[in-house]
Amino acid sequence: MTITEERPRTESEPGRVGAGVFSPRQLLTSLPDALRKLDPRHQLKNPVMFVVWIGSVLTTVFAIGEPSVFTIGIAVWLWFTVVFANLAEAVAEGRGKAQAESLRRTKKETVARRLTKTGEEHVPGVELRVGDLVVVEAGELIPGDGDVVEGIATVDESAITGESAPVIRESGGDRSAVTGGTTVLSDRIVVKITTKPGESFVDRMIALVEGASRQKTPNEIALTILLSTLTIIFLLAVVALQPMAAYSGSEQSVLVLTALLVCLIPTTIGALLSAIGIAGMDRLVQRNVLATSGRAVEAAGDVSTLLLDKTGTITFGNRRATELIPVGGSTSDELARAARLASLADETPEGRSIVELTEGTRGADERGEFVPFTAQTRMSGMDLTGRQVRKGAASAVRAWVGAELPAETERVVDEISTQGGTPLVVAERLNGNAVVRGVIRLSDVVKPGMRERFTELRAMGIRTVMITGDNPLTAKAIAADAGVDDYLAEAKPEDKMALIHKEQEGGRLVAMTGDGTNDAPALAASDVGVAMNTGTSAAKEAGNMVDLDSDPTKLIEIVAIGKQLLITRGALTTFSIANDLAKYFAILPAMFASIYPQLGGLNIMHLHSPQSAILSAVIFNALIIVALIPLALRGVRYTPASASALLRRNLLVYGVGGIVTPFAGIWLVDLLVRLIPGM
């Protein structure tokens, strides 16, 4: 089974609802699923809502036995409360199912060319097994996930990543992994299959977005236990209330006690808890990140140390020409012309950066015979009539010149090397006489905005560590330029492991990115290990997340998504508990005002009657769930701040808001309820 068409559009693309977008239409389309979730076996998984479900059944019996506007109203709105809770989960799951359906529509059977001892055989892709070798040539689909073991080819991965630019996959390196359903555009490769049918990358992605593989995280389980405990406490309190009411001569009906219980237990967060977790996974998928579990997403929110590779994450993947330094009597213009001519045949990224740096050099490019750059000569250049131009490493140019380089040139070369850069010497040979024009400085260029992002992480209490194979001097210079908190120079796999264990011993959670087989141990040891999709199968198996876009800087976004998930859960829990406090002032005074007139002073909302007060509280309790579904799916807006600042904001916005909102909401509902005949 393979992918043959474009992936589903992301939230920034038209025609599809993204992770942060909510449409009221989703409520209607998810309603059938919400009704199916009324099955008591499903409700039992959520203790809080199971209590509400039992209360709904109980009040329905009373409404049938003693029908009245009040009893029927209570029964109906308690059922609405359960349905609205199911609706929150159904909407979250529905968006994942829509993504999964888009992926399924793009899958179709393909035929693989499997290698045998006697040649090739054509077999259906679903019959491939781990270890099989298959041949894929230009224009053919890769039939399954695996590693390139022979050859090199350009591959179109747009069906998976959405990126239209092809990528290179080759054997023997860290970019050997290929994904089933991608298309080979050129050349021929032999792929060793590494996954069983039904367990491919795309199959795992479908299972993830459908929620089939989602298990409750430790924090989610702990919060469920807390909510269950609160429910039991309130249940005992309500049961104990009846003898007191009977002693006072104001015995309450089971209907009223049930309504009181439902309004006092934390139904709001109980209804939205599952939707918050599903939506957090959905936000990752929308950003082309595949997580193996919700635990990984949650751990990302608690990360306190980020390990970041220098190359490709903090700096651009290749060193770039940043400065031309003329020596001797040469002018800047002469050095620029010579450097450009010597780099036109250099197809390395460094060579192309020199051409870009010298763009606009006075005078048209001259014509001559190109001398391409090779790893053996470590030089490139151009041979013109009566003139030769070369650019390369100092030792290579020294050998080409046939003499020691001028003292000034050697000083500039040493200075650039000491500062962590790479010097390239430019020389010309005119009529047999060699002239050194100057030195090109190649530098690791820090990506724009990285310093600001690290400042944000520092404000969040996250420590950043740059990992590089460079010497300590170079590492120190780049770390200072980027603004990271610390660095690990000349890092080997065992050094990464030692650093991770050291951080974890202090009780900190560690996140890192990697793409090579040598990164696999560190990815497995990290609390959040993000493997690049372009990396090896070993790296992708070791990590608990895979970035389809292979963008190492996305680790910072993953941390933000994890924190947003935790903040959303905390904010809505705060709102829910504060919300319950306000309902006391609606129901308790209404229950005992006839016996204790002094309680009338607590009726600060001046509700119409005891029955209208109770019914209004039940209606508000149901409606607030629907009102908060968009926030649960979108997530509370996250801004980098310390834990204490976030706590203050939560208490101020959602704590105070949770107290004030019910007063206004119940009062407005009461204005409508009192218009109903019989109330």
Residue 545 annotated as binding site:
no
Please tell me the total number of residues recorded for the chain in this structure.
Answer: 679
Q: Residue 543 in contact with residue 152, Cβ under 8 Å?
A: no
Angle of helix 47-65 relative to helix 267-286, nearest 10 degrees, comes to 130
How far is residue 6 CA from its own chain's centroid? 21
How many separate helices (H) and strands (E) can be counted in the chain? 23, 23
Residue 365 annotated as binding site:
no
Residue 547 annotated as binding site:
no
- Give the span between the Cα atoms of 512 and 309, in whole angstroms: 8
Q: Residue 520 in contact with residue 514, Cβ under 8 Å?
A: yes
Residue 346 annotated as binding site:
yes
Q: Can 527 be counted among the known catalytic residues?
A: no
- Give the span between the Cα atoms of 361 and 406, in whole angstroms: 26
Q: Residue 635 in contact with residue 20, Cβ under 8 Å?
A: yes
Dihedral sign, CA of 20, 23, 24, 28? negative
Helices (H), 12-162: 25-36, 40-43, 47-65, 69-105, 158-161
Which residues, other chains included, contact 181 with Cβ-Cβ below 8 Å and sequence gap of 6+? Answer: 2, 3, 4, 106, 107, 141, 142, 159, 160, 202
- Give the span between the Cα atoms of 130 and 470, in whole angstroms: 38
Helix or strand run (H / E) with residue 381: strand 379-384
* 532 CB burial (10 A radius; 0-12, 13-18, 19+): buried
- Give the span between the Cα atoms of 566 and 560, in whole angstroms: 10
Strands 486-488 and 379-384: unpaired
Tokens, residue 445: 């260029």
Unique residue bearing structure tokens 């970019």:
175
Which residues, other chains included, contact 551 with Cβ-Cβ below 8 Å and sequence gap of 6+? Answer: none
Residue 375 annotated as binding site:
yes
- Closest alpha carbon to 454 in 590, 305, 608: 305
Residue 164 annotated as binding site:
no
For 157, the 3-state DSSP assignment is coil
- Give the span between the Cα atoms of 522 and 518, in whole angstroms: 8
Candidates 309, 527, 551, 670; catalytic one: 309
C-alpha distances (whole Å) from 127 to each of 112, 148, 182, 200, 213 are 9, 19, 18, 13, 24
Helices (H), 483-553: 493-505, 520-525, 537-542
Residue 379 annotated as binding site:
yes
Q: What angle do CA 456, 458, 462 make, to 5 degrees?
A: 115
Residue 377 annotated as binding site:
yes
- Give the span between the Cα atoms of 605 and 607, in whole angstroms: 5
Residue 515 annotated as binding site:
yes
Residue 203 annotated as binding site:
no
Tokens, residue 369: 């015979």
Residue 110 annotated as binding site:
no
The DSSP call for residue 311 is B
Tokens, residue 674: 């009192």
Q: Which residues have a catalytic role annotated?
A: 309
Binding residues for ATP: 346, 350, 373-380, 391
Binding residues: 346, 350, 373-380, 391, 515, 519
Binding residues for Mg(2+): 515, 519
